[in-house]
């Protein structure tokens, strides 16, 4: 009976098969393929090359037994297994936003090209050819390819070892180089922040002020509840994504951000007599959705001010730039307030975020200010967006 699998690649027929060798008393399996014949009048169908395949298999070294790989999963089949595993992973749970991005990469970019390709055939050459056909930014291409690599690596045996281990050759794949200066990373200027704050009304005004005065991530700001405001600081203990409460992005994201006394007074005025609930909420008391706020309120405001449209992260970059270059903020405090990850052992040893240093942080917040013009009072603080 024939073993192995015959497949057509371009204008030629190939045979895919498995062999093993003995290393340290254990079988080490390897998948390989060989060309059988060109597609011509004599070899027009798969059946026409079966005899050639049988002859080739019989001529192999008996020390390397041949086994069929007809049961190898397709890329799509393995990707569904991988996704389910990621959704239920207990160690380092994957955030819903990350899962959504992965699923988008798969359905929009990867499946149309690779869904029916057998997993062993996801090689350096296959990925090289795939990446060459994607018309996206270098960073986006890198993110998509990372998903392909993770899917292939997720196929493991009963011992947890990869079934199709691959040594990825990035020089060979020659994907577009990620150049930081060419990436789009918009940041507001102090003049633009002042314009936005002056022009915004309702909740959006307080949201813009707090974004620019703290450097909070969007999910962190929209996840704030009244209990997280101490009167002079904001405690980041959760974030909101698509209306769902979840843990902050990283361990470093858990932090207390002291704020300028003027900002604290405005926030206190905005909250009013409320004792609980989300600080920024819709008519039903639920947290605001990032996309709705962006599309319905923030982008129209930017267009009216003739400021290029961008996301909330432009506020975060503004705060980072201001603290680092104009306010002369101590590096450790800058990283703590923004929730950045530790870069080295010195960062790990820095204890500026501990309770004993709260007074120091509060004093620094007051001294450094915010860099943009603050209103004396808010516009319609109780009006909902």
Query: What was the pLDDT predicted at 67?
Result: 43
Other beta carbons within 10 Å of 26: 8
What percent of the chain lies above the pLDDT cut of 90? Answer: 57
pLDDT tens digits along 217-244: 999 999 999 999 999 999 999 999 888 8
Beta strands 12-23; 26-38: pairing state = antiparallel
| Helix boundaries (H) for the chain | 50-58, 75-87, 96-104, 111-114, 124-132, 138-153, 170-173, 190-199, 202-214, 218-222, 261-271, 290-293, 299-304, 313-325, 331-338, 345-349, 358-368
Answer whether 170's CB lies under 8 Å from 178's CB.
Answer: no
What's phi and psi for 28, nearest 5 deg? -115, 110
- Helices 96-104 and 75-87: crossing angle, nearest 10°? 170
The pLDDT score that the predictor gives to residue 160 is: 87
Q: Is the pLDDT of residue 46 over 90?
A: no
> Mean of the pLDDT values across residues 74-87?
93
Q: Which pLDDT score is estimated for 262?
A: 97
Name the residue among 257, 260, 210, 209 with its Cα closest to residue 233: 257
CATH number belonging to domain 75-182: 1.10.150
Write down the pLDDT at residue 219: 94
Q: Are 122 and 83 in contact (CB under 8 A)?
A: no
Report pLDDT for 41: 67
Does the domain at 190-368 match CATH 2.60.120.200? Answer given as: no
Give the count of beta carbons closer than 10 Å to the beta carbon of residue 89.
10
Residue 218 near residue 64 (C-beta atoms within 8 A): no
The mean predicted confidence, pLDDT, of the chain is 87
Q: What is the pLDDT of residue 23?
A: 54
Q: Are 106 and 130 in contact (CB under 8 A)?
A: no
Lowest mean pLDDT among 89-103, 184-198, 201-215, 249-263: 89-103
Distance CA 59, CA 340 (A): 60
Exposed, middle or buried by CB within 10 Å (0-12, 13-18, 19+), for 367?
Answer: exposed
pLDDT(70) > 50: no
Contacts of 108-117 with C-beta under 8 Å, sequence gap 24+, read: 109/134, 109/136, 109/144, 110/75, 110/79, 110/144, 110/147, 110/148, 111/76, 114/75, 114/76, 114/148, 115/74, 115/75, 115/76, 116/74, 116/75, 116/76, 117/74, 117/75
183: pLDDT confidence band, cut at 50, 70 and 90? low
Domain range summary for the chain, segments of one domain joined by +: 5-58, 75-182, 190-368
Of the candidates 117, 110, 152, the residue with the CA atom closest to the CA atom of residue 133: 110
Residue 1 banded pLDDT, cuts 50, 70, 90: very low
On the CB side of 76, CA atoms within 13 Å amount to 11
Element housing 22 (H / E): strand 12-23
pLDDT in tens, 247-294: 898 889 999 999 999 999 999 999 999 999 999 999 899 999 999 999
Per-residue pLDDT at 150: 96
Mean pLDDT of 362-379: 94
Residues 129-168 pLDDT 10s: 999 888 888 889 999 999 999 999 999 888 888 888 999 9
């Amino acid at each position: 009976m024939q073993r192995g699998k015959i497949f057509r690649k371009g204008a030629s027929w190939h045979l895919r098969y498995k062999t093993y060798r003995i290393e340290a008393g254990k079988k080490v399996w390897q998948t390989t393929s060989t060309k059988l014949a060109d597609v011509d009048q004599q070899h027009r169908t798969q059946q026409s090359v079966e005899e050639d395949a049988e002859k080739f298999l019989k001529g192999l070294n008996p020390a390397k037994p041949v086994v069929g790989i007809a049961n190898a999963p397709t890329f799509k089949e393995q990707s569904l297994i991988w996704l389910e595993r990621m959704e239920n992973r207990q160690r380092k749970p994957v955030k819903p936003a990350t899962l959504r991005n992965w699923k988008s990469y798969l359905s929009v970019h990867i499946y149309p090209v690779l869904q029916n390709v057998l997993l062993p055939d996801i090689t350096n050459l296959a990925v090289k050819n795939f990446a060459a056909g994607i018309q996206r930014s270098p960073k986006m291409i890198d993110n998509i390819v990372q998903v392909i690599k993770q899917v292939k690596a997720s196929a493991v045996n009963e011992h947890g070892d990869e079934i199709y281990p691959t040594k990825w050759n990035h020089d060979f794949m020659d994907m577009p180089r990620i150049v930081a200066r060419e990436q789009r990373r918009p940041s507001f200027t102090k003049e633009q922040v002042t314009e936005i704050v002056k022009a915004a009304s309702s909740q959006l005004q307080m949201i813009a002020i707090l974004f620019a005065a703290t450097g909070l991530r969007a999910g962190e700001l929209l996840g704030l509840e009244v209990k997280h405001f101490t009167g002079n600081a904001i405690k980041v203990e959760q974030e909101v994504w698509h209306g769902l409460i979840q843990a902050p992005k990283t361990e470093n994201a858990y932090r207390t951000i002291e704020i300028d006394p003027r900002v604290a007074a405005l926030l206190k005025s905005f909250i009013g007599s409320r004792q609980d609930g989300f600080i920024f909420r819709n008519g039903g008391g639920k947290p605001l959705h990032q996309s709705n706020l962006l599309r319905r309120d923030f982008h129209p405001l930017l267009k009216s001010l003739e400021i290029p449209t961008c996301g909330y992260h432009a506020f975060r970059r503004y705060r980072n730039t201001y603290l680092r270059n104009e306010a002369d903020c101590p590096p450790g405090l800058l990283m703590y307030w923004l929730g950045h990850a530790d870069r080295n052992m010195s960062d790990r040893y820095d204890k500026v975020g501990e309770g004993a240093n709260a007074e120091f942080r509060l004093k620094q917040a007051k001294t450094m200010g915010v860099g943009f013009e603050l209103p004396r009072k808010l516009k319609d603080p109780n009006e909902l967006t």
